[in-house]
């Protein structure tokens, strides 16, 4: 290995144990298709599509070329009161993939911004309808909606909230749906748990009154907290309760969007259409940061048509909303998904992925395996008194053996690029199995 020509000290790494990392850094220097190259020259199979985002695989030529062409043609244009062709084209392509009725797209630069934008649109929508008192936002325990103040507040991860006392006040949370006693080792959607959606009506609406609630936001499949697949009928119940009480339903599809569940959006896969979809990650296969919100036309019309003519209707946006490099990357990425039929490929490979994973049932310390589309989790029994230690040991060992996984506590999460083939699925799962068999 060549000596490093940079120092590790100046950087504060995100969501990382900085001192531990800097004492034994894991550095990736290049990537192609399904693999990373580590600085010591090892090829590493990407079992997580980076951070659930490199859906088309790494360094794909058509995306690279589109970004290069765009950088040479129009590097940046002001995006407020101005436009460039790429942002309209990209919006049209994203809207065409969305469920019918969701047809307007607001661009941002990340999932966190997408979530905060959707929550603000929900508030602006109710205000434009003359119901500005609807300003309570409902999330779910174990939900992850990024790290902005809005997303953190509706999110349900204690560690992400506890240091920041000033989370939004007017929020509440549904119970999560994870239950090993009823649902361990379920393939696909669990049969048990739809009734947990009823808490929206019997507890949350009963407490706050529907007239004060703006919106409910959930991940159709919770990703970050370990692939929590919605019980059969759960999302349908949420939809029905929101309809009965005039609440907007937001699906946070930052992870599930762009093929992860076998269709463009999980809304299609589960047949439940929300009022807004937040997306990021896969829209550009993570080549250029980008996110956005897709909204129903009634929401766009209400906010836009209720403002005085000539006035800005939504006082919101980012310097880089619809950045030319991002919209070029999005167009090329969406074209690649289409040409290579990558969403169909997920449905074709999901049964093989499922069978390979569930063959690990019975391996020591494995207390659950769950999966949907090309997302899966293997939950381990924690070492007594050391939560997360076994999961992290598994992650390190897998990396050493040339397989990248992601751990959250003692849960190993998998979300490979959609281009993965069956031999690579076997290698991914086989390596994890071997590591788990060898771990204390």
- Where does this chain bind ligand PXG (CB under 6 A)? 51-52, 110-112, 115, 144-146, 219, 223-224, 252, 254-255, 280, 406, 408
Residue 440 Cβ vs ligand PXG, minimum distance, rounded to whole Å: 25
Q: How far is the CB of 69 from ligand PXG (least distance, A)?
A: 25
**SS3 sequence, the chain?**
CCCCCCCCCCCCCCCCCHHHHHHCCCCEEEEEECEEEECCCCEEEECCHHHHCCCCCECCHHHHHHHHHHHHHCCCCCCCCCCCHHHHHHHHHHHHHCCCCEEEEEEECCHHHHHHHHHHHHHHHHHHCCCCCCCEEEEECCCCCCCCHHHHHHCCCHHHHCCCCCCCCCEEEECCCCCHHHHCCCECCCCCCHHHHHHHHHHHHHHHCHHHEEEEEECCCECCCCCECCCCCHHHHHHHHHHHHCCEEEEECCCCCCCCCCCCCHHHHHCCCCCEEEECHHHHCCCCCCEEEEEEHHHHHHHHHCCCCCCCCCCCCCCCCCCHHHHHHHHHHHHHHHHCCHHHHHHHHHHHHHHHHHCCCCCCCEEEEEEECCEEEEEECCECCECCHHHHHHHHHHHHCCEECEEECCEEEECCCCCCCHHHHHHHHHHHHHHHHHCC
CB 392 within 8 A of CB 385: no
Q: How far is the CB of 253 from ligand PXG (least distance, A)?
A: 7
Tell the smallest beta-carbon distance from residue 155 to ligand PXG (Å).
Answer: 8
d(CA 283, CA 154): 23
Nearest distance, CB of residue 223 and ligand PXG, angstroms: 5
Tell which residue, 245, 232, 142, has the closest CA to residue 202. 245
Nearer to ligand PXG, 156 or 324 (CB): 156
Q: Which CB atom, from 45 or from 115, has the smaller least distance to ligand PXG? A: 115
- Give the closest residue to 122 by CA, choosing from 316, 373, 404, 382: 316
Compute the least distance from the CB of residue 242 to ligand PXG, in Å.
19
Of residues 312, 331, 315, 334, the one with CA closest to residue 323: 331
Two structure tokens written together for 335: 């074209």
Cβ distance to ligand PXG smaller for residue 84 or 320: 320
| Closer CB to ligand PXG, 52 or 343, in the complex | 52
Quick one: 51 or 401, whose CB is closer to ligand PXG? 51
The residue (of 79 and 154) whose beta carbon lies closer to ligand PXG is 154
- From the CB of 280, what's the least distance to ligand PXG, in Å? 5
Tokens at residue 196, please? 């947990």
In terms of CB distance, is 14 or 41 closer to ligand PXG? 14
CB-nearer residue toward ligand PXG: 252 or 410 = 252
Residue number closest to ligand PXG, CB atom: 111
Q: Which is nearer to ligand PXG, 51 or 59 (CB)?
A: 51
CB of 96 to ligand PXG, least distance (A): 22
46 or 219: whose CB is closer to ligand PXG? 219
Query: What does the alpha-carbon distance between residue 382 and residue 109 come to, in Å, rounded to a whole number?
Result: 36
* Contact between residue 172 and residue 207 where contact means Cβ atoms under 8 Å apart: yes
Q: Least distance in Å: CB of 225 to ligand PXG?
A: 8
Nearest approach in angstroms of CB 15 to ligand PXG is: 7
The rounded distance, in Å, linking the Cα atoms of 311 and 24 is: 55
Smallest gap, in angstroms, from Cβ of residue 53 to ligand PXG?
A: 8
Identity of the residue, 111 or 190, whose beta carbon is nearer to ligand PXG in the bound complex: 111
């Amino acid at each position: 290995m060549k000596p490093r020509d940079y120092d590790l000290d100046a950087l504060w790494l995100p969501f990382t144990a900085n001192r531990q990392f800097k004492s034994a850094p894991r550095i990736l220097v290049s990537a192609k298709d399904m693999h990373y190259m580590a600085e010591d020259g090892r090829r590493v199979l990407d079992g997580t599509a980076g951070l659930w985002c490199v859906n088309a695989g790494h360094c794909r030529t058509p995306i690279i070329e589109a970004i290069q062409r765009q950088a040479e043609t129009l590097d940046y244009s002001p995006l407020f009161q101005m436009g460039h062709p790429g942002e309209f084209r990209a919006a049209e392509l994203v809207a065409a993939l969305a469920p019918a009725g969701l047809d307007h797209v607001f661009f941002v630069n990340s999932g966190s911004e997408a979530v905060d934008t959707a929550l603000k649109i929900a508030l602006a929508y109710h205000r434009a309808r003359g119901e500005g008192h609807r300003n309570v936002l409902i999330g779910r325990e174990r939900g992850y909606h990024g790290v902005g103040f809005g997303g953190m507040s509706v999110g349900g991860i204690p560690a992400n909230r506890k240091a920041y006392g000033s989370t939004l006040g007017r929020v509440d949370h549904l119970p999560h749906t994870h239950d090993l006693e009823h649902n361990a080792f379920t393939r696909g959607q669990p049969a048990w748990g739809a009734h947990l959606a009823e808490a929206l009506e019997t507890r949350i609406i009963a407490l706050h009154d529907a007239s004060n609630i703006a919106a409910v936001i959930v991940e159709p499949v919770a990703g970050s907290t370990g692939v929590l697949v919605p019980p059969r009928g759960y999302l349908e119940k949420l939809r029905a309760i929101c309809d009965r009480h005039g609440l907007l339903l937001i699906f946070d599809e930052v992870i599930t969007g762009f093929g992860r569940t076998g269709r463009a959006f999980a809304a299609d896969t589960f047949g439940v259409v929300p009022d807004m979809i937040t997306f990021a990650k896969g829209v550009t296969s993570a080549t250029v940061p980008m996110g956005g919100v897709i909204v129903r036309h009634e929401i766009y019309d209400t906010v836009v048509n209720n403002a005085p003519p000539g006035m800005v209707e939504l006082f919101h946006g980012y310097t880089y909303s619809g950045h030319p490099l991002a919209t070029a990357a999005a167009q090329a990425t969406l074209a690649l998904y289409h040409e290579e039929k990558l969403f169909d490929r997920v449905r074709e490979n999901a049964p093989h992925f499922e069978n390979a994973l569930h063959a690990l049932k019975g391996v020591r310390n494995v207390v659950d395996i769950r999966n949907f589309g090309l997302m899966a989790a293997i939950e381990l029994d924690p070492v007594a008194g050391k939560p997360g230690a076994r999961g992290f040991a598994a992650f390190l060992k897998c990396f050493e053996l040339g397989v990248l996984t992601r751990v959250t506590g003692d849960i190993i999460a998998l979300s490979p690029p959609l281009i993965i083939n069956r031999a690579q699925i076997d290698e991914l799962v086989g390596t994890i199995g071997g590591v788990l068999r060898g771990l204390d």
